[in-house]
């Protein structure tokens, strides 16, 4: 997975492969993903999520949200994938999730998403 050269808006590749699945990267993700979120970090989150569930955004669209803690940012990163699991919609640091993660509050994640799955971060 090579990150293309160019402006910040072109820094994510067209596809990212994680856990043997190649997903397209949406135009929204290319345009609006924070500049310090790289393809490698997105791949890490998709491979090492500790919480994952079905969430609804402010425009009533569903997506599968993956959260993982990264040492590069010292925060939780949220990656949203389309319901058909074919497109990475967006990715960003999630400071609210980080606060709840640090406080051991699973309830925050349960209130955000349905069908919540949790993995032991120590087993990854």
Residue 124: what pLDDT? 56
**Model pTM?**
0.86
The H or E element that residue 39 is part of is helix 39-48
**Does the pLDDT at position 7 exceed 60?**
no
Angle at 108 between CA 105 and CA 112, to 5 degrees: 155
Mean per-residue pLDDT, 98-111: 92
Condensed to tens digits (0 to 9), the pLDDT of residues 31-74 reads 877 778 999 999 999 999 999 999 998 889 999 999 999 988 89
Residue 14's Cβ-side half-sphere holds a number of Cα atoms within 13 Å equal to: 0
Residue 43: what pLDDT? 97
CB 35 within 8 Å of CB 103: no
């Amino acid at each position: 997975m090579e990150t293309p050269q160019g402006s910040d808006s072109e820094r994510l590749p067209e596809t990212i492969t994680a856990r043997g699945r190649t997903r397209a990267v949406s135009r929204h993700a290319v345009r609006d993903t924070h500049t310090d979120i790289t393809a490698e970090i997105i791949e890490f989150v998709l491979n090492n999520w500790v919480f994952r569930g079905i969430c609804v955004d402010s425009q009533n669209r569903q997506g599968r949200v993956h959260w993982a803690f990264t040492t590069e940012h010292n925060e939780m990163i949220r990656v949203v994938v389309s319901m058909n699991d074919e497109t990475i919609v967006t990715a960003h640091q999630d400071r609210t999730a980080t606060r709840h993660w640090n406080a051991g509050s699973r309830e925050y994640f349960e209130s955000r998403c349905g069908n919540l799955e949790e993995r032991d971060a120590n087993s990854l």
